[in-house]
Amino acid sequence: MLTPNWGFSSRWTGLVLFSLVFFCMGSIAYGQSISLADVTAQDGLVEIRLTGGGVTTESFTLTSPTRIVINLEGVRTKAPGLIPGAGKIEQVRYSQFSPTVTRVVLDLREESSYFVEEIDQGRIVRVRLGSSVNQIQLLPTQPLPTLQVQGEGPLVATSFALSSPERLVVDFKYATLARELVLPEALGPIARVRTSQFNHETVRVVLDLTMPLAGILEDVEAGVQLALRYKIEKLAWQGGQLLIDTKGPRPQQLKREDGVSWLEFPFTVSDLRLPKGQGVELSSRQEESWFLGVASPGKRIKIISRLGGIALEFLPSALAGVRVVVDPGHGGSDPGAIGSAGYREKDINLAISQYLVRFLKEYGATVQLTRSGDYYLSLAERVAISNGSGAEIFVSIHCNSFGDSSKQGVETFYHAKSPQSKSFAQHVQEQLVSLRPCIDRKAKEGNLYVLRENLALAILTEVAFISNPQEEALLADPEYQQKVGRAIADGIEAFLEKK
């Protein structure tokens, strides 16, 4: 057998082995290197995404033409690339500058300061062009002024409040302050406007205030504005009352929605923690105004004006001790109307009535059903149950039906014999219509037996059209049935409170 003769001495053999080890180590390092995954550009911002992490960046600027150069150490890219820019960024180029360095170049239309930041453990590198703050105004909006700041380039703003003395602060990151900036004069509760270059990358604007205020930041064309808002300064229980302190507009009435009483504080902001206790559940939501939600089963809420704000006093519900008869329409051999999906009116009427009974009892009412199961009752029997119980309130629950399946909406009937029955029907109708966008078919007069022959204040409500496929699906939904029951209970309580 022939043996190859490589012609290497032992000294050369050692050198070859060392080279092979070095080559393998380089191959392993190459396999484990960080790769360029994606580059995106928008106005004033370039984002570089990498696979892996721990990247080291070096950056500098060049002129003629103007460009920003970012070197990414230990990063490899498969092929050179070019993407269009936006704003001051004309285009972005990237390529393998050296075996271990990927270079990203931002070609600029004009000179600009810039900031480089590494996030997500170095997996993302952001290059952000600097902006300049060059105009500050106070707009005489109502009920409170608005701070408007304009600049060259996108403005990235955050705000916070300080007290003792009262101030609102707006910081503009990645920004510099323009020279010869003219500051606005005092306006309303804003005693003075101050500004400074807080650090090398942040412009700070400070509003000195004569009262505690908050602000909502909004992006506007060519800048940012801070819409001033009143603050809820105190929210606490005291002696069974809920005290709410604010120098802003205060609610004069409340609106019931799905068992919750909502109070609107116009042009107000709150970040206070909601206090617990007193058997009352509080919630809130922030929109243009601040809304406080109060769930207080069995209690009605009285709003009391006081120095510095309002107090909420909780009194027994207007339903407490009131005798109510709830009448689920149809039953037994009389199924009522039947929808296209096969749902029967008698079943839906009973389900809604059972929810209504539950909520009325929560509010302290004494409640009786004309039927508690699937059996037939004549109209005379239903009225006899109501009259025999000494009921003050009678509510009959029905679903509407019509040959035209497009018909929809809510309507509630009353009898003209009682002047108060119209107001009663209107209060219930209002609550039912508030549940969803639908046709308000109004509270209307009806010469119906269960209304005409009843000694109680009586209404009959058609909560939706079972002949309409969309409304039939709603009526068959237990969650919606519960909402309908709650809305009717709220309507009865609202009527009794104003009776």
Q: Furthest-apart CA pair in the chain: how many Å?
A: 125
Q: Give the residue from 244, 245, 247 showing the smallest Cα distance to 229.
A: 247
Residues 337 and 486 both lie in one domain? yes
Q: Give the residue from 66, 59, 109 showing the smallest Cα distance to 84.
A: 109
Mean per-residue pLDDT, 357-371: 95
Report the distance separating Cα 330 and Cα 460, nearest Å.
13
* DSSP three-state, residue 55: coil
Instruction: Select from 300, 316, 332 the last residue of a domain.
Output: 316
Residues 73 and 214 both lie in one domain? no
Q: Give the residue from 479, 329, 478 showing the smallest Cα distance to 398.
A: 329
pLDDT at 90 over 80: yes
With contact defined as beta carbons under 8 Å apart, do 174 and 115 qualify? yes
Residues 236 and 141 both lie in one domain? no
In a domain, 491, yes or no: yes
Is residue 20 very low, low, confident or very high in pLDDT (cuts 50, 70, 90)?
very low
Residues 374 and 492 both lie in one domain? yes
Is residue 7 very low, low, confident or very high in pLDDT (cuts 50, 70, 90)?
very low
Mean per-residue pLDDT, 184-199: 96
pLDDT at 11 over 80: no
**pLDDT reported for residue 498:** 85
Residues 259 and 369 both lie in one domain? no
Is residue 19 very low, low, confident or very high in pLDDT (cuts 50, 70, 90)?
very low
Handedness of CA 477, 482, 487, 488 (dihedral sign): positive
Instruction: Look at 180-184, 258-262, 279-283, 407-411 and tell me which has the smallest mean pLDDT.
Output: 258-262
Q: How far is CA 34 from CA 18, 86, 304, in A?
A: 26, 27, 66
Residues 117 and 141 both lie in one domain? no
In a domain, 368, yes or no: yes
For 384-427, what is each residue's pLDDT tens digit? 999 999 999 999 999 999 999 999 999 999 999 988 999 999 99
Q: Give the residue from 484, 489, 488 showing the smallest Cα distance to 471.
A: 484
Residues 308 and 447 both lie in one domain? no
Is residue 259 very low, low, confident or very high in pLDDT (cuts 50, 70, 90)?
confident
Residues 165 and 136 both lie in one domain? yes
In a domain, 217, yes or no: yes
In a domain, 109, yes or no: yes
**Active-site entry in 462, 471, 472, 493:** 462
Report the distance separating Cα 291 and Cα 314, nearest Å.
18
Report the distance separating Cα 315 and Cα 310, nearest Å.
16
Using a 10 angstrom Cβ sphere, with 0-12 exposed, 13-18 middle and 19 or more buried, the burial of residue 497 is: middle
The DSSP symbol for 338 reads B
Using a 10 angstrom Cβ sphere, with 0-12 exposed, 13-18 middle and 19 or more buried, the burial of residue 167 is: middle
> Which residue has better confidence, 377 or 4?
377
Instruction: Select from 173, 202, 230 the last residue of a domain.
Output: 230
pLDDT at 347 over 70: yes
With contact defined as beta carbons under 8 Å apart, do 454 and 394 qualify? yes
With contact defined as beta carbons under 8 Å apart, do 317 and 300 qualify? yes
Number of domains in the chain: 4
In a domain, 477, yes or no: yes
DSSP letter for each residue of 135-182 = EEEEE--SSS-EEEEEEES--EEEEEEETTTTEEEEEEETEEEPTTPP
With contact defined as beta carbons under 8 Å apart, do 263 and 294 qualify? yes
Residues 351 and 411 both lie in one domain? yes
Amino acid identity, residue 445? E
Mean per-residue pLDDT, 172-179: 90
Instruction: Select from 95, 129, 163 the last residue of a domain.
Output: 129
Instruction: Look at 29-38, 117-126, 453-462 and tell me which has the smallest mean pLDDT.
Output: 29-38
**pLDDT reported for residue 367:** 98
What pairs with residue 115 in β-bridges?
Answer: 128
In a domain, 295, yes or no: yes
In a domain, 28, yes or no: no
Report the distance separating Cα 488 and Cα 155, nearest Å.
50
Residues 460 and 333 both lie in one domain? yes
Residue 56, domain CATH = 2.60.40.3500
In a domain, 1, yes or no: no
462 is catalytic: yes
Structure tokens at 272: 């206070």
**pLDDT reported for residue 31:** 43
Range of the domain at 410: 323-498
**pLDDT reported for residue 121:** 85
Per the prediction, the chain carries an average pLDDT of: 90
Residues 254 and 307 both lie in one domain? yes
Structure tokens at 324: 């109510």
pLDDT at 3 over 90: no
For 40, residues 6+ apart whose C-beta sits below 8 A from its C-beta are: 46, 47, 49, 83
Look-up of token digits 């409500």: 461
Residues 438 and 448 both lie in one domain? yes
With contact defined as beta carbons under 8 Å apart, do 263 and 270 qualify? no
